[in-house]
């Protein structure tokens, strides 16, 4: 029986980061991974690197460059001939990026002395891990500490069974070899909007069916309303309150039946993407006597330091409470590795940014205006539109705004919400500020380079107290 200081189950962003950090801290570490890639080799990197964050961003960037060449270069005085898209070549580029990054994780494991063990890991009693190899053989690992980072998988719904040909999940949507003439998307969340955007830019007629009656309900609604207008202008037909009841595949097309405003409707699509959320991959992961408990939704129960009910066993990433975000899982992995090594570190769950990589990007951190109102927190807000940004105008990318929320009495920043160019990077400035407990005035007093998109963050902070320079203020400067 092999013995380790740390055994990590799962090599996604939570797992591989935990394994690397544990090894850096001098702990003998192994990482168990069951997934395999197209070349039938172990696929390190989890959903994020293989079939999630990275490949979807590759397609988003490729499709946006196609859109720019086709529809947006003329404003710069650039003329092109007829622009075409080679979808198989685009998919090949995506696959090459995936191979490079997943191979990079393997290289990092070797450099840091992490042992890769191929197979399906199951937690047994006594801090043991049973590993079932692809050929069915089993072996057992003994560990002083176990970190469970098994991740999540797409949720399936009975009315739309996945066949990965006509009806696909988010993984199948990354493998289309041609542009669907009509594309249906079930779910108007992050994944649905991103994948819908990819194929809409390439020429698909995209219809998004969302069961909820509100659009992006977890986001600040001023930003959500702006986003809805932008997506409509881009050609995404988003139908709220549309509940899918049945699908029928015939002649490589799918008829989707759904209810909308108490009416029965149907649409026929060339492809249908089902992206209604993800669920924790906890089935078969735990022996009955492992001592690790699940909640009613299948998430592993942990405390604020990701400790399970079994001493020496931790769980991180998508398989525990909180948002299913790669960066959240990665930081949990670091925290757990450091705590195992004896460092008393914690994680600030109030400063985790969320991002939608459409164009324009949408990013947020902290509380929304609706949450502050519901909690009775006194607040003030300031916003600044990118149309007033010299850098955004120069780039012909002026859609959206920056919005900052601060406490009415202490001026401490409570949240930031951005829709616009480079929102994913701009919001990180406020994440850092919030981590240090900064006020809106702290941002307002900071010198920002000119001309930059970051100046929109500066102006929004100034606007919190009616001090914006490059737009009229709603209130007088104090």
Residues in the chain, total: 478
The 3-state secondary structure of 69-113 reads HHHHCHHHCCCCCCCCCCHHHHHHHHHHHHHHHHHHHHHHHHHHC
Q: Any idea what DSSP says for residue 42?
A: B
Task: Please give the helix or strand (H or E) that residue 7 lies within, else none.
Answer: strand 2-9
Q: Can you give the C-alpha Rg of the chain in angstroms? A: 24
Integer Cα distance of 56 and 443 in angstroms = 33
Integer Cα distance of 9 and 2 in angstroms = 15
What Å distances lie between residue 7 and 31, 32, 329, CA to CA?
Answer: 6, 7, 17
Q: Is 450 one of the catalytic residues? A: yes
Task: Please give the helix or strand (H or E) that residue 141 lies within, else none.
Answer: strand 138-148
Number of helices (H), then strands (E), belonging to the chain: the values are 12, 22
The string of DSSP letters for 153-183 reads EE---TTS---SSSEE-TTGGG--SS--SEE
- Torsion sign (Cα): 182, 422, 54, 364: negative
Residues 6+ apart with CB under 8 A from 288: none
- Of the residues 343, 450, 458, 470, which is catalytic? 450
What is the separation, in whole angstroms, between the first and last Cα of the chain?
A: 70
Nearest CA to 42 out of 118, 137, 98, 138 is that of 118
* 8 Å CB contact between 452 and 429: no
By three-state DSSP, how is residue 327 classified? helix
Residues 6+ apart with CB under 8 A from 53: 47, 326
Integer Cα distance of 226 and 401 in angstroms = 9
- For 127-149, letters b (16+ CB in 10 Å) and e give bbbbbbeeeeeeeebebebbbbb
Which residues form the catalytic set?
Answer: 450
């Amino acid at each position: 029986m092999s013995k380790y200081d740390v055994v990590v189950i799962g090599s996604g962003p939570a797992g591989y980061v935990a394994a690397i950090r544990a090894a850096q801290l001098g702990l003998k570490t192994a990482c168990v991974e069951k997934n395999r890639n197209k070349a039938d080799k172990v696929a390190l990197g989890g959903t994020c690197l293989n079939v999630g964050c990275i490949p979807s961003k590759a397609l988003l960037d490729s499709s946006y460059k196609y859109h720019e060449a086709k529809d947006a270069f003329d404003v710069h005085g650039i003329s092109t001939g007829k622009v075409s898209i080679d979808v198989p070549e685009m998919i090949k580029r995506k696959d090459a990026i995936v191979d490079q990054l997943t191979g990079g994780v393997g290289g990092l494991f070797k450099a840091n002395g992490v042992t890769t063990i191929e197979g399906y890991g199951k937690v047994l009693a006594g801090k043991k891990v049973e590993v079932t190899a692809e050929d069915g053989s089993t072996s057992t690992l003994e560990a002083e500490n176990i970190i469970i980072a098994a991740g999540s998988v797409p949720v399936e719904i009975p009315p739309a069974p996945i066949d990965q040909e006509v009806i696909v999940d988010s993984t199948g949507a990354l493998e289309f070899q041609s542009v669907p003439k009509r594309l249906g998307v079930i779910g108007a969340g992050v994944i649905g909007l991103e994948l819908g955007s990819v194929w809409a830019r390439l020429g698909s007629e995209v219809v998004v069916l969302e069961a909820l009656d509100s659009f992006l309900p977890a986001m600040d609604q001023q930003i959500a309303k702006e986003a809805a207008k932008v997506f409509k202008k881009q050609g995404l037909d988003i139908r709220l309150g549309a509940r899918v009841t049945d699908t029928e595949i015939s002649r490589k097309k799918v008829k989707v039946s759904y209810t909308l405003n108490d009416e029965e409707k149907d649409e026929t699509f060339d492809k249908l993407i089902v992206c209604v959320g993800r669920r924790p991959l906890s089935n078969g992961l735990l022996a009955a006597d492992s001592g690790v408990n699940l909640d009613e939704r299948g998430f592993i129960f942990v405390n604020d330091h990701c400790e399970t009910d079994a001493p020496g066993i931790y769980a991180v990433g998508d398989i525990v409470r909180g948002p299913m975000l790669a960066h959240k899982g990665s930081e949990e992995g670091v925290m757990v590795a450091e705590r195992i090594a004896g460092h008393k570190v914690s994680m600030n769950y109030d400063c985790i940014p969320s991002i939608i990589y459409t164009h324009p990007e949408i990013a947020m951190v902290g509380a929304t205006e609706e949450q502050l109102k519901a909690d009775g927190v006194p607040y003030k807000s300031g916003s600044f539109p990118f149309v007033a940004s010299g850098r955004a105008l120069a780039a012909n990318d002026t859609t959206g705004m920056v919005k900052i929320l601060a406490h009415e009495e202490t001026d401490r920043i409570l949240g930031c919400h951005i829709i616009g160019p480079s929102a994913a990077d701009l919001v990180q400035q406020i994440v850092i500020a919030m981590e240090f407990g900064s006020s809106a005035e702290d941002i307002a007093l900071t010198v920002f380079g000119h001309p930059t998109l970051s100046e929109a963050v500066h102006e929004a902070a100034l606007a919190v107290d009616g001090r914006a320079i490059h737009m009229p203020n709603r209130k007088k400067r104090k």
